[in-house]
C-alpha cells in the first residue's frame, strides 16, 4: 500500500467550476501535510499547508481529518491556469525531514 494515495484523475472541468481532490495517508505518525502543484516537466511548488482547522488561500481550501487520515483540496472558480498536477504530501515531522509524495491528481480546466 502506498503511503500517500490519490486519485490520478484526470479531472476535466470547465472554467469557473469547483473541484475537490482527496488524499489518504497510511502512516498515522505523519505530522505535517501539504499540497504541491506540479506543471508538466517542472519541479513541484508548494501550494499550501494543510491543518486540521482548515486552511484557505484565496480560491483554495485545504482540510485535514486526522481521524480518517484524509486530506482534501478544494478549488473554487477554476481558472485555465489551474491546470496542473496536484501532489498530496506528508511528512513524519521527525529528524529525517522527509517528504512523502502522492502520485498526484491531474486537473484540466477547459475554456
Partner 1 sequence: GAVVSQHPSWVICKSGTSVKIECRSLDFQATTMFWYRQFPKQSLMLMATSNEGSKATYEQGVEKDKFLINHASLTLSTLTVTSAHPEDSSFYICSARRSDGQGLRGYTFGSGTRLTVV
Burial (CB count within 10 angstroms: exposed 0-12, middle 13-18, buried 19+), residue 73 = buried
Q: Is 55 in the site for partner 1 (CB under 8 A)?
A: no
Q: Is 45 in the site for partner 1 (CB under 8 A)?
A: yes
Which residue has cell 482547522?
A: 53
Strands (E) across 16-83 are located at 19-25, 32-38, 45-50, 55-57, 60-65, 70-75
- Minimum distance from residue 25 beta carbon to partner 1 (Å): 13
Q: Is 64 in the site for partner 1 (CB under 8 A)?
A: no
Q: Is 34 in the site for partner 1 (CB under 8 A)?
A: yes
- Minimum distance from residue 2 beta carbon to partner 1 (Å): 9
Contacts of residue 82, defined as CB under 8 A and 6 or more positions apart, other chains included, come to 75, 107, 109
Residues 73 and 63: their CA atoms lie apart, in Å, by: 7
Which x/- pattern over 91-110 shows residues binding partner 1 (rule: CB under 8 A)? x-x--xxxxxxxxx------
Q: Is 32 in the site for partner 1 (CB under 8 A)?
A: yes
Q: Is 20 in the site for partner 1 (CB under 8 A)?
A: no
List interacting residues with partner 1 (CB under 8 A).
8, 32, 34, 41-46, 49, 87, 91, 93, 96-104
Amino acid at each position: 500500500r502506498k503511503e500517500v494515495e490519490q486519485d490520478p484523475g484526470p479531472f476535466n472541468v470547465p472554467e469557473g467550476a469547483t473541484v475537490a481532490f482527496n488524499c489518504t495517508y497510511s502512516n498515522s505518525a505523519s505530522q505535517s501535510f501539504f499540497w504541491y502543484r506540479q506543471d508538466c516537466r517542472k519541479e513541484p511548488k508548494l501550494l499550501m499547508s494543510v491543518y486540521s482547522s482548515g486552511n484557505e488561500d484565496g480560491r483554495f481550501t485545504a482540510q485535514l481529518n486526522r481521524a480518517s487520515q484524509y486530506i482534501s483540496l478544494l478549488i473554487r472558480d477554476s481558472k485555465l491556469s489551474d491546470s496542473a498536477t496536484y501532489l498530496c504530501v506528508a511528512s513524519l515531522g521527525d529528524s529525517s525531514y522527509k517528504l512523502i509524495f502522492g502520485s498526484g491528481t491531474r486537473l484540466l480546466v477547459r475554456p
